[in-house]
């Protein structure tokens, strides 16, 4: 499937009904999700692979991975978001396992690839992206993850001995979804990381 086709399909998905800033519930826009997933597809990390979306929200990354031939699982702490995710998966006719849980303690097995847009840690109550990164490199051999601009130093150190293989600056259209946003759409830039880890024996 072409990247543009994937983007058009993902645009049909519903977003959070009542996003909470404390959990940094920003859905990944279809254009950004398609970019991340297309890259993972080209690197051989989706088709026929076990893919996990940590903090899957309303499911865009897990559903997109399934559309590209992955066996996809999404983990999310918010039951309301998961209800929307399940509806979204059936809307596009894909099978995704959605699990209600906290990415910190959850036990995940046989994961090849993690795709994720973790909380960036810009809201005080959030534990930020550390628990997500820790889990991702613990369970997967390939990780695709979105982060704030300027995270490179922190991420390279944090994921060691895993390696940051690629970094892309990606425009991220942020729609107005919280009271404190004062523009309808603001384009920010985020960084997409591709991280690889040695398979554990």
Whole-number minimum distance, CB 196 to ligand SAH, in Å?
A: 21
- Give the residue with the Cβ less far from ligand SAH, 112 or 129: 129
> CA 119 to CA 96: how far, in whole Å?
22
From residue 35 to residue 74, what is the string marking binding to ligand SAH with x (rule CB under 6 A)?
Answer: ------------------x-xxx--xx-------------
Whole-number minimum distance, CB 103 to ligand SAH, in Å?
A: 4
* Contact criterion met (CB below 8 Å) for 113 and 8: no
Select from 84, 103, 133, 136 the one that contacts ligand SAH (CB under 6 A). 103
Buried-exposed string 39-57: b where 16+ CB fall within 10 A, e elsewhere? bbbeeebbeebbbbbbbbb
Residue with tokens 């303690």: 105
Determine if 26 is a binding residue for ligand SAH (CB under 6 A).
Answer: yes
Degrees (nearest 5) of the Cα angle 32, 34, 40? Answer: 110
* H or E, element range at 38: helix 30-42
Residue 201: CA atoms inside 13 Å, Cβ hemisphere, count?
A: 0
Residue with tokens 């890259």: 39
Nearest CA-CA partner of 113 in 200, 195, 56: 195
Select from 119, 133, 136, 142 the one that contacts ligand SAH (CB under 6 A). 119
Select from 27, 88, 142, 151 the one that contacts ligand SAH (CB under 6 A). 27
Q: Site residues for ligand SAH, window 70-89 (CB under 6 A)?
A: 75-78, 81
Whole-number minimum distance, CB 152 to ligand SAH, in Å?
A: 21
DSSP structural state of residue 21: G
- Give the residue with the Cβ less far from ligand SAH, 49 or 55: 55
> CA 32 to CA 9: how far, in whole Å?
13
- Give the residue with the Cβ less far from ligand SAH, 18 or 157: 18
Distances (CA, A) of 90 to 42, 59, 70, 113, 191: 26, 11, 16, 23, 30
Select from 113, 117, 145, 151 the one that contacts ligand SAH (CB under 6 A). 117
- Give the residue with the Cβ less far from ligand SAH, 66 or 81: 81
Question: What residues line the site for ligand SAH (CB under 6 A)?
Answer: 23-28, 53, 55-57, 60-61, 75-78, 81, 102-104, 117, 119, 131
């Amino acid at each position: 499937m072409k990247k543009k086709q994937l983007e058009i399909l993902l645009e049909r998905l519903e977003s959070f009904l009542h996003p909470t800033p404390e959990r940094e519930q920003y859905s990944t826009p279809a254009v950004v999700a398609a970019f991340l997933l297309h890259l993972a597809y080209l690197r051989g990390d989706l088709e026929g692979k076990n893919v996990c979306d940590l903090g899957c929200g309303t499911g865009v990354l897990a559903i997109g991975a399934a559309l590209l031939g992955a066996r996809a699982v999404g983990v999310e702490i918010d039951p309301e978001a998961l209800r929307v995710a399940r509806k979204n998966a059936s809307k596009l006719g894909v099978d995704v396992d959605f699990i209600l849980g906290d990415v910190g303690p959850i036990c995940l097995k046989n994961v090849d690839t993690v795709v994720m847009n973790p909380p960036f840690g810009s809201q005080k109550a959030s534990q930020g992206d550390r628990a997500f990164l820790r889990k991702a490199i613990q369970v997967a051999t390939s990780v695709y993850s979105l982060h704030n601009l300027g995270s490179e130093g922190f991420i390279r150190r944090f994921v060691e001995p895993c390696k940051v293989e690629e970094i892309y600056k990606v425009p991220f259209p942020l729609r107005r979804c919280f009271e404190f946003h004062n523009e309808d759409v603001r384009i920010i830039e985020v960084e997409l990381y591709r991280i690889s880890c040695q398979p554990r024996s």
